[in-house]
Amino acid sequence: MSEIVPNRGIWINGVERPGRSGKKLDVVNPHNGLTLATVAMASRDDAEDAIVSAQSTFRTQLRDMPIFERAAILRRTAEEIRKGSKELIEIVVAEAGKPIRDVTREIGRASTLLDLAADYAMVQTGQVLPMDIVESGVNRTGLATRVPVGVIVAIVPSNSPVNLTINKVGPAIAAGNAVIIKPSDQTPISALWLAAAFKRAGLPDGAINVVIGEVEEAIEPLVRDLRVRMISITGGVPAGLAVIKAAGIKKVVLELGSSAANIVRADADVASAAKTLATSAYLSSGQACISAQRIFVHESVKEEFVSAFVKAAEAMKIGDPMDPEVEIGPMVSQVQAQRVLGWIEEAKAAGAKVLTGGVAVARTIAPTLLSDVSDKVTLASSEAFAPVAVLEGFTDDDAVIEKVNSSIFGLQAGVFTNDLKAAFRFGKDIEAGAIWINDSSRYRQDNYPFGGMKFSGIGREGVQYAIEEMTEWKFVGFKLGASKGIL
């Protein structure tokens, strides 16, 4: 990254330009506190320009663009990411504070996701429907097709800024939609980089716009506008509730996080489960919605598990996220670190035991495992989004399933067992959008339906399933000859 702090703006109709709110945003490196860039933020007029640009491009170019052209643009953008990966990786490490080894995986996954979106764009299908299921349908036939919804607003958090943007934009473009990206204030530079990459790949101006700004001036006007036909947000429950209240009658996909549960039965490979769950809980300072937060271990193997887990946790390297050996970088802000330290102190005051960690270190929190955590404290029920996990023993499968399902969340879960019958039972009875057997809640790839139950969200991501969310059924009926009745 350059030592000179650049002035950046917003991306409207294929051009990066200053926002007109008169307000500035400093993008700060969480690791060293240095300012990376100053961004001129958007006004309501800028939000209006983004909507006009997106709607015009959708109507005049995108919705009638041949599928092979959309697919080719997605593949060329994937190649732009691969060619520019070194620069993009450095940007994300600097603005998000995420370790370079984790960011490298993220960027690789994003380019693969675009190739996958191109593949799925090529196999979209409709239906030919027989109408003669009733007498009046004789000599009638029908075509049911999926059509793009139009203008989509994609609201993206800071923890995986490239991949979570591509998760939304790739399927949207594959389906023929235009997208307005609202990145996190912490990570706008990577969003601007991606917009420019799509432009270089041949995406028409206006198909992607990037709006950076405050809720009242930039986000709320986008969410409320009737010309915006869908909102896709990855964020917290308060943000999701605000979107639901403001959006009105339009499609909404909400991915709102979790306090992900993971279960280790007595018949599991305990050492392997412990190592896997330590990585799941603490990688990138635990700043992932599917990080292992609640860990339930059978009492007969709890001592063995804790010993192996603590050893693995304490071996994880903390430090400069540009160091390829570092697994735990800074939390996204010191405000968030202090919030979680407060939650730990609350749990300790209610009788919790700290098995490892529990203290601030190197602009994050040392990998922390607590036991004997009261159900009444914040850590027992809220998403920590930090390198903190809570441990609880169990002896009965029914009881632990009930405990897991008592959460308001239900995004992903992990179950470690070598009993096939038990694996199917847990997969059926746990209330979560996805359950991984012999892997942690943190594993994710992009060809399965990803999304939550209960307060974890509405709708699904995963390329094929996101395309379905970002399209609508449209029916055209034909009367081809004489027919009885008007029904």
Residues recognised as catalytic: 255, 289
* Phi-psi domain of 282 (left: phi exceeds 0; alpha: psi -120 through 50; beta: other): alpha
- Among residues 278, 369, 286, the alpha carbon closest in space to that of 329 is found at 286
CA atoms of 326 and 117, how far apart (whole Å)? 32
d(CA 487, CA 483): 10
Distant-in-sequence, close-in-space partners of 426: CB < 8 Å, separation ≥ 6: 263, 397, 401, 415, 417, 435, 437
Q: Could you give the CA distance from residue 288 to residue 442 in angstroms, rounded to a whole number?
A: 8
Q: How far apart are CA 301 and CA 296, in angstroms?
A: 11
CA triple 364-432-277, angle to 5 deg: 40
Q: How many CB atoms lie within 10 A of CB 448?
A: 14
Longest dimension (CA), the chain: 80
Give start and end residues of each alpha helix (H) in 410-472.
420-429, 463-469
Cα(366)–Cα(364) distance, rounded to whole angstroms? 7
297, 271 Cβ separation under 8 angstroms: no
Q: CA–CA separation, 5 vs 22, rounded Å?
A: 18
User: Residue 300 has what DSSP assignment?
Assistant: G
Q: Is 134 helix (H, G, I), strand (E, B) or coil?
A: coil
Q: What is the β-pairing status of strands 140-148 and 127-130?
A: antiparallel
Q: Please calculate the CA angle 396-401-404 and round it to the nearest 5 degrees.
A: 125
For residues 449 and 464, what is the distance between their CA atoms, to the nearest angstrom?
Answer: 8
Two tokens, residue 37 = 């860039």
Q: CB within 8 A of 345, min separation 6: which ones? A: none
Contact 24, 41 (CB under 8 A): yes
Rg (CA), the chain: 24
Task: Single out the residue of 205, 68, 207, 199 nearest to residue 151, CA to CA.
Answer: 207
Q: What angle do CA 166, 169, 175 make, to 5 degrees?
A: 130
